[in-house]
């Protein structure tokens, strides 16, 4: 019984590390894309086009975050 709990604890810790890594990778990707998009937007796009690009980027980030939440289920909430 104790061995099962220890194994579960080890698995939980590994899942948490994986989730934290995914979140950090997502943050880095969002920051990188944001910086690149901002530079491009300022040079090339009209204000209306800038807004559309920013909205698309935010939608992508929200979808990715939801995918992580879906993958990790209850563990995300804890």
Q: How far apart are CA 74 and CA 12, in angstroms?
A: 12
* pLDDT of 73 above 70: yes
In this prediction, residue 74 carries a pLDDT of 67
Phi-psi region of 73 (alpha: psi -120 to 50; beta: other; left: phi over 0): left
Name the one residue in this structure whose structure tokens are 């194994």: 7
- Categorize the per-residue pLDDT at 69 as very low, low, confident or very high, splitting at 50, 70 and 90: confident
pTM: 0.50
* pLDDT of 29 above 80: yes
In this prediction, residue 14 carries a pLDDT of 92
Domain of residue 57 covers 2-77
* pLDDT of 78 above 70: no
Give the residue-averaged pLDDT of 1-10: 85
Q: How many domains are there within the chain? A: 1
Report the SS3 class of residue 73. Answer: coil
């Amino acid at each position: 019984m104790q061995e099962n709990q220890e194994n579960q604890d080890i698995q939980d810790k590994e899942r948490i590390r994986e989730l934290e890594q995914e979140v950090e990778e997502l943050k880095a990707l969002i920051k990188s894309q944001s910086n690149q998009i901002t530079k491009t937007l300022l040079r090339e796009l009209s204000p209306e086009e800038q807004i559309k690009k920013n909205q698309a980027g935010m939608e992508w980030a929200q979808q990715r975050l939801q995918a992580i939440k879906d993958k990790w289920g209850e563990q995300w909430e804890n």
